Amino acid sequence: MPPHPSEPTIVARGLARAFGARTALHPTDLALGPGGVIGLLGPNGSGKSTLLRMLVGLVRPDAGSAVVAGVPLAGDGTAIRRRATYAPGELALYGELSGRDHLGWLLRGRERAARSRAIALAETLGLPLSARVRSYSHGMKRQLLFSAALAPAVPVRILDEPTEGLDPTKRGEVLDLVADDARAGRTILLSSHHLGEVDRACDRLVFLAAGRKIADETAASVARRARRLVRVAYATEADLLLAEREVGRLAGASPRREAGRLSVLLEDDDPRAFLAALSDLRVLPAPQSVEYGQISLQELYRELYGVEGC
Amino acid sequence: MGREARFYAFGSLAYFVVLEALLIGAVLFWPDFEDNLEALRDMAPLQALKGMLDQIGAGGVAAYVNGQHFFKGCNTVGTLAAVIFAMNAVAGEAHRGTLELWLSRPVSRRRLLLERWVGGALAVVVPVFASTLSIPWLLGFVEAEMQLGPLLLGAAHQSLLLLAIYAAAFLWSCLTARPILIAFGMLLFTVLQFSVYLIQVATHWSLFRLTDIDVFVRIGATHALDGRICWPLAGVSAALLATALFVFERRTP
């Protein structure tokens, strides 16, 4: 039964999985959608792929339940995969097939029109569909999987690392297509281990670390919080030490030396007051660079969520 | 034609060509073999081989053809084909890294596995029947003859053993990601079984006794399959397939 238009389209309750002694995912709750692009972020080994595979029935959970597009997770998940497409993160394809034939193979069980839509998408992305897939580059294979996942008329798409290995231009094209697709009312859950790679297309970000969900925020909120981190670079180590001492005296600023730069965590989302105070510190030499609003996943986890070792 | 169907079709064709080549050679050699049967019997180093030659001496061209085609050709080439088709079915996908991709489409695992099982099973048995069909025609070249009916019953009997071997390798394929392990494991098993066959006091423990010349001679004489062998073989294949389905439903890609 399709979910009510206002109900979440991806729901998980206590979904958990261990592989032997290693816990890949601790009990996790999710309520995503309806509609929008949701980024599932976390470093390698954080449980992203396990969670995505469980949502489409490829991995059986040890505990918990899930409902995707109104279909409860049961058996081998075929019923869910009829209502949701999935693009695996693994890039192993059948090299002996042509791109066109591979799309046909990937779209088995989908409506007839999906194939022509996938071919059109692949052509938009510039894929040589007559060539054998074994001649494709890493990025081309990724785009082929993406084209197949974006073509069927389903309410949910689950994409594991859809931009991994793509150059910035192609990544932008792919994310634009994702955003366009979401505007048609679809819920798209995509994973990445690079914050700066996918967040521009996402409305919401879910963060995983060591198999646990550590945050679930709107992308705007994360961007706002990211602006709390200001990095200032100085020419010499002596300047950096001096800057650390002086900046530490400023209210609402916690400096830390890191990789030849000063990382300053602000209490306020708006960095303007700090930047004004910094420029007023006449004892300091002029910085080589000042950067804010840019944050890596590792920094985000450490500075904002207090999670180390990602 | 889909990629799986192509693999089975070409594999099956190659297997048929080898079987047919072996059969042609064996049939054309029959007159010489018949003339030299006594000498061959004297030269045979093992009692099991002498026994086999005695059976051919008693059964004539029918025993010879059954021995050459079913016992030798189908048991060796057929077992090899069964293992190749089975080991690539699931373990091959896992080894290539395409298992997740194969499972990610909206097609149930049961269906995917049954399609592969049936495709491989047909690829294993169709060449056995196809090559058997040519035997009466080939025998015409050496002025001998055999009835097609008992030959087809023999092919059915032989296919049941090959299917059991195929089903065992297929189950193994559902359990592992290393097809080479299946290949070596089945090769070791086959060599062991053949060694046991050659040991006079242990020969009745060999799987190959189920397709020995006397079994086919009996089928030819009674014009009926031997239920004491066929039903257990069919049961083993069915049980192995059911186990494979159970295992595959729960397999993590």
Residues of A with Cβ-Cβ distance to B115 under 8 angstroms: none
Percent of chain B's residues with pLDDT above 70: 100
Residues of A with Cβ-Cβ distance to B110 under 8 angstroms: 76
Distance in angstroms (rounded) separating the CA atoms of residues A150 and A169: 19
Cα A33 to chain centroid, rounded: 15
pLDDT grade, residue A119 (50/70/90)? very high
User: Does the beta carbon of B204 lie under 8 angstroms from any beta carbon of chain A?
Assistant: no
User: Does the beta carbon of A108 lie under 8 angstroms from any beta carbon of chain B?
Assistant: yes
Across the interface, do A105 and B2 touch by the CB < 8 Å criterion? yes
Across the interface, do A110 and B109 touch by the CB < 8 Å criterion? no
Over 70: is that where the pLDDT of A44 sits?
yes
* Per-residue confidence (pLDDT) for residue A5, from 0 to 100: 66
User: Pick from A34, A30, A31, A35: which is nearest to A4 by CA?
Assistant: A34
Over 90: is that where the pLDDT of B103 sits?
yes
User: Does the beta carbon of B49 lie under 8 angstroms from any beta carbon of chain A?
Assistant: no
pLDDT grade, residue A307 (50/70/90)? low
Mutate to test the interface with A, among B6, B10, B103, B104 (most CBs of A within 10 A): B104
Give the distance from residue A131's alpha carbon to the nearest chain B alpha carbon, in angstroms.
16
Over 60: is that where the pLDDT of A202 sits?
yes
User: Order of strands across the sheet with A212-218?
Assistant: A84-87, A156-159, A187-192, A36-41, A204-209, A212-218
Across the interface, do B101 and A90 touch by the CB < 8 Å criterion? yes
Over 90: is that where the pLDDT of A106 sits?
yes
User: Does the beta carbon of A22 lie under 8 angstroms from any beta carbon of chain B?
Assistant: no
Give the distance from residue B96's alpha carbon to the nearest chain A alpha carbon, in angstroms.
7
* β-bridge pairing A187-192 and A22-32: unpaired
Topology annotation, domain A1-83+154-218: Rossmann fold (3.40.50)
* Per-residue confidence (pLDDT) for residue B182, from 0 to 100: 96
* Per-residue confidence (pLDDT) for residue A12, from 0 to 100: 96
Task: Provide the sign of the torsion angle of the four alpha carbons B9, B15, B18, B22, taken in this order.
Answer: negative
Distance in angstroms (rounded) separating the CA atoms of residues B229 and B38: 32
pLDDT grade, residue A2 (50/70/90)? low
User: Does the beta carbon of B246 lie under 8 angstroms from any beta carbon of chain A?
Assistant: no
Contact indicator for A45, A19 with CB cutoff of 8 Å: no
Which range has the worst mean pLDDT, A20-34, A54-68, A244-258?
A244-258
User: Does the beta carbon of B228 lie under 8 angstroms from any beta carbon of chain A?
Assistant: no
Residues of B with Cβ-Cβ distance to A58 under 8 angstroms: 100, 103-104, 252-253
Instruction: Give the pLDDT mean for B195-209.
Output: 88
For residue B64, give both structure tokens. 């010879």
* Per-residue confidence (pLDDT) for residue A302, from 0 to 100: 72
User: Does the beta carbon of B43 lie under 8 angstroms from any beta carbon of chain A?
Assistant: no
* 3 state DSSP class of A144: helix
Across the interface, do A59 and B252 touch by the CB < 8 Å criterion? yes
Residues of A with Cβ-Cβ distance to B102 under 8 angstroms: none
Across the interface, do A92 and B98 touch by the CB < 8 Å criterion? yes
- The correct CATH number of A228-292 out of 3.30.70.920, 3.40.50.300, 3.40.190.10, 3.40.50.2300 is 3.30.70.920
- Its pTM stands at 0.87
End-to-end alpha carbon distance in chain B: 26
Across the A:B interface, residue pairs with CB atoms under 8 Å apart total: 59
Instruction: Give the pLDDT mean for B221-227.
Output: 93
Domain ranges of chain A: 1-83+154-218, 92-153, 228-292
Q: Residue A19: count other Cβ atoms within 10 Å of its Cβ.
A: 12
Across the interface, do A108 and B105 touch by the CB < 8 Å criterion? yes
Contact indicator for A41, A35 with CB cutoff of 8 Å: no
